[in-house]
């Protein structure tokens, strides 16, 4: 039976094992899937031990996505554009890296939530592995200007350079938020919600038709979702749908068949599902 895992730090909260096992049942594919906690300094050793034990593929979550890119022998074009990897496949004794985050986010927003992303003035908060994973796909989906903000300006600048579209992509310091005006789409790609705290986000970012999206889900998404609702966002969406859709993309890479995702939502814990939208 093939072995798979999700690596992160922390990772005990992850729904990925439940999701992938549900996909396996749906398609009649037997597999093992576990969550492995690996702090950044021990990630390489943990990944090698997993490979030695027969690991065939892995999902990578915070804060290891950029490290996974560096450990990959080869990478897909979308992983290279992101400079981050969230999916690893073991082939010919080497790790091959891909990034399914952006595809998962866009599929969730445009499919399940029926959003038209074209022409949306967009703010992306954060410049780490999560932000890197979704930025290229948002641009490909037809958003208008993409503003990148981060506490460390150099990281926002580096992401903007990697995206290579200076006419559409604008790096800014997080302290400039009050000057940027209203956005059609605000995406939180930071992990600040895990500690229950968010950067100071001005109310002026949101209008009556603004959509706010947190790439986290469950308890980690509560602070941003609460901020968005309190300040009048038209819709507030957490990252549960993105998690399921990117998992389906990863599953297809490993097994050659993409599962249906609608069935999986029904199997998820109600306390997570209740946080998906606030229409």
Ligand-binding annotation for 77, yes or no, is: yes
Ligand-binding annotation for 14, yes or no, is: yes
Ligand-binding annotation for 217, yes or no, is: yes
Ligand-binding annotation for 151, yes or no, is: yes
SS3 2: strand
Ligand-binding annotation for 150, yes or no, is: yes
Ligand-binding annotation for 61, yes or no, is: yes
Ligand-binding annotation for 94, yes or no, is: no
Ligand-binding annotation for 215, yes or no, is: yes
Q: Residue 273 — left, alpha, or beta (φ > 0 → left; ψ -120 to 50 → alpha)?
A: alpha
**List 20, 65, 120, 255, catalytic entry:** 65
Cis ω on the peptide bond leading into residue 63 (within 30° of 0)? yes
State how far Cα 190 lies from the chain centre.
Answer: 10
What is d(CA 97, CA 231) in angstroms, rounded to the nearest whole number? 39
Ligand-binding annotation for 155, yes or no, is: yes
Ligand-binding annotation for 86, yes or no, is: yes
From first CA to last CA, the distance across the chain in angstroms is 42
Radius of gyration from C-alpha coordinates of the chain: 18
Ligand-binding annotation for 129, yes or no, is: yes
The per-residue b/e assignment along 137-176, b for 16 or more CB within 10 angstroms, e otherwise, is bbbebebebbbbbbeebebbbbbbebbeeeeebbbbebee
Catalytic residue check, 3? no
SS3 124: strand
Binding-site sequence positions for NADP(+): 77, 126-130, 150-155, 215, 239
Binding-site sequence positions: 14-16, 61, 77, 86, 101, 126-130, 150-155, 215, 217, 239, 246
Binding-site sequence positions for shikimate: 14-16, 61, 86, 101, 217, 246
- Enumerate the active-site residues: 65
């Amino acid at each position: 039976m093939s072995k798979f895992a999700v690596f992160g730090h922390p990772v005990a909260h992850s729904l990925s094992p439940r999701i992938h096992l549900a996909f396996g049942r749906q398609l009649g594919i037997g597999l093992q899937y576990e969550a492995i906690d690996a702090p950044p300094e021990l990630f390489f050793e943990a990944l090698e031990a997993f490979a030695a034990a027969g690991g065939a593929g892995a999902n990578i979550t915070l804060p290891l996505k950029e490290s996974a890119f560096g450990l990959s022998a080869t990478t897909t074009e979308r992983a290279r554009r992101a400079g981050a990897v969230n999916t690893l496949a073991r082939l010919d004794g080497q790790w091959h890296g891909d990034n399914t985050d952006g595809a998962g986010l866009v599929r969730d927003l445009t499919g399940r939530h029926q959003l038209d992303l074209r022409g949306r003035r967009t703010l992306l908060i954060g410049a780490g592995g999560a932000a890197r994973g979704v930025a290229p796909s948002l641009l490909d989906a037809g958003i208008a200007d993409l503003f990148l903000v981060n506490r460390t300006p150099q990281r926002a600048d580096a992401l903007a350079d990697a995206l290579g579209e200076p006419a559409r992509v604008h790096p800014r310091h997080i302290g400039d938020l009050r000057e940027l005006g209203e956005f059609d789409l605000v995406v939180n790609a930071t992990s600040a919600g895990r500690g229950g705290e968010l950067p100071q986000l001005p109310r002026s970012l949101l209008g009556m038709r603004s959509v706010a999206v947190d790439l986290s889900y469950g308890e980690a998404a509560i602070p941003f979702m609460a901020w968005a609702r309190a300040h009048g966002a038209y819709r507030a969406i957490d990252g549960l749908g993105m998690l399921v859709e990117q998992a389906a993309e990863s599953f297809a890479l490993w097994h050659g068949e993409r599962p249906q995702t609608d069935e999986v939502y029904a199997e998820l814990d109600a306390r997570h599902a209740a946080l998906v939208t606030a229409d």
